[in-house]
Amino acid sequence: MSTSALVAKSDLLKQLPSCSYSVPAPSTDLDVFSWSRIFENVAASVPLKQALEFKTLHSEAYYAVNRAFRRVKKLKIEILSTDETLYIIQDSCTKNPNVAVEMVRFVLSKARKVSELELYFEDLDLKVLNRILNEVVESENVELESLRVKRRNAGQSVTKIGDVIRANSTTLREITRVGISEASHGFDDRIRLERFGCMSFDIGIQAAPHQVPIHMIRITESGAKFSNFSYTSFSGFDPSEPIVQNMLDSAEVTTLKLTMMNAPVIASRPGYMVGKVRITLNYKNYKLQTAGSSCETRGTCRNRR
C-alpha cells in the first residue's frame, strides 16, 4: 500500500467511531483430534437421545459418541407414575416400555464398566422394572460399587433388586435405601459394605411383628459385613433386642443411624453393653428432630471387642 493510501485510511479512521472498525480475528482450523474431543465431551454431558443424534453429524462424531459411552460409569433409571408411565433412562424420556429396556441394553452394551446404579420407581406395576433390572443382572459390563434405591410406594418388595445385589456382591461397597426383604434375599458371605442403608417400607408401613425379625435373621445367617448401618422404619428397631444385637454383632457394625416415627429408648449412660456390642453415644452428633409426624434419631454404635 502506498504512503498516500495509508494517510487516507488514517484520516478516515479518525472521522469514524472506534467501534465502527475492528481488526478481524485470524481464523482457526481445528484438527480432527480437537473436533473428536469436542464431540466426546458434549455426548457425555447430554441425555442419551441427544448423544445418539450426534452420530449422524460426521464420521468423527460417530466414533466420539461411542467412546463417550464406553466411559459411562453410572446408570440412572427412573420410572414415574403419570397418566401414562414415563421411563427416564440416562435423562432421556420414553413412554414405550420396550424402548426403555432397549435403551438400558444399549448403554450396558457400550459401557466398559458400570459401577453405579441409581434407581427410582413410582409405578405399581413392577414388570418393566424387573425386565430392566434383569438386563443389569445379565450384563458382563456391570461391576457395581454403589447401589442407590428410592421408591414412592410402600409394600413393594422387588426380588430383582436382591438379584442385582447378589450378582455384584464382591464389588459393592455402598447400598442405600433398599428394602430389608430385598437385602435378605441378595446378601451372602461375599458382601463387604462400607455403608448399608436399609428400610422396612418394602413390606408395608406397619409390617407384622414377625416379618422384620425374619429378615434380620436371614441377614445375620448370610455372613454379610457392613460397618456403617442406617435403618429407616415406622417403629420396631430396638438395639437391645437379641435378634437385632446378633445382626449388629455378626455384621461387625461400628456406626448405627436410626430414623423412625417412634424412636426406641436408648440408655443415656455412655459405654454401656448391649449383648456383645458396647454402645457409645456421641452427644455432639446425637439429634432428635420432629418435623410434622417424623422423628429422627442419630447415634453412634461402636463395636468394641
Q: pLDDT tens for residues 222-261?
A: 999 999 999 988 776 777 789 998 999 999 998 888 887 7
Residue 78 has pLDDT above 90, yes or no: yes
**Cell numbers at residue 299, please?**
447415634
**Distance from C-alpha of 133 to C-alpha of 138, rounded to nearest angstrom:** 9
Q: Do 236 and 181 reside in the same domain of the chain? A: yes
Decide: 65 and 54 in contact? Cβ < 8 Å: yes
- Same domain? 299 vs 231: yes
Q: What is the tens place of the pLDDT at every residue in 182-237?
A: 999 999 999 999 999 999 999 987 777 788 999 999 999 999 999 999 998 877 67
Average pLDDT, the chain: 79
Q: What is the phi-psi region of residue 57: left when phi exceeds 0, alpha when psi lies from -120 to 50, beta otherwise?
A: alpha
Q: Are residues 161 and 222 in the same domain?
A: yes
Residue 55 lies in a domain: yes
Q: How far is CA 86 from CA 11, 46, 92, 95, in A?
A: 68, 19, 10, 5
- Look at residue 8 and tell me whether its pLDDT is greater than 60: no
**Dihedral angle sign, alpha carbons of residues 55, 58, 46, 31:** positive
Residue 33 to residue 45: CA distance in whole angstroms: 19
Domain co-membership, 163 together with 126? no
Q: Which residues pair with 117 in a beta bridge?
A: 75, 147
Q: Please give the average per-residue pLDDT across 38-43, as a whole number.
A: 60
- CA 142/CA 122 separation, integer angstroms: 24
How many structural domains comprise the chain?
A: 3
Is residue 18 assigned to a domain? no
Q: Which of 89, 123, 145 is the last residue of a domain?
A: 145
DSSP 139-187: -TTEEEEEEEEEESSSS---HHHHHHHHHTTTT--EEEEEEHHHHHHH-
Is 21 within a domain?
no
Q: To the nearest 10°, report the CA torsion of 232, 229, 143, 154.
A: -10
Let me know whether 122 and 234 are in one domain: no
In a domain, 299, yes or no: yes
Q: Last residue of some domain: 115, 145, 175?
A: 145
Q: Exposure of 86 by Cβ count < 10 A (0-12 exposed, 13-18 middle, 19+ buried)? A: middle
| pLDDT for res 301 | 44
The answer to whether 254 touches 271, Cβ cutoff 8 Å, is no
Phi-psi map region of 116: left, alpha, beta (phi>0 left; psi -120 to 50 alpha)? beta
Do 202 and 228 fall within a single domain? yes
pLDDT over 80 at 265, yes or no: no
Single pTM value for the model: 0.75
The boundaries of the domain holding residue 95 are 73-145
- In a domain, residue 5? The reply is no
Alpha carbon distance 86, 80 (integer Å)? 5
**Is residue 160 located within the same domain as residue 304?**
yes
Instruction: Verify that 298 and 254 share a domain, yes or no.
Output: yes
CA dihedral (167, 154, 233, 275) in degrees, to 10, reads -50
Say whether both 80 and 67 belong to one domain.
no
Nine-digit cell string for 288: 432428635
204 domain-assigned: yes
Please identify which residue in the block is written with the cell numbers 468423527.
Answer: 60
Q: Is 27 inside a domain boundary?
A: no
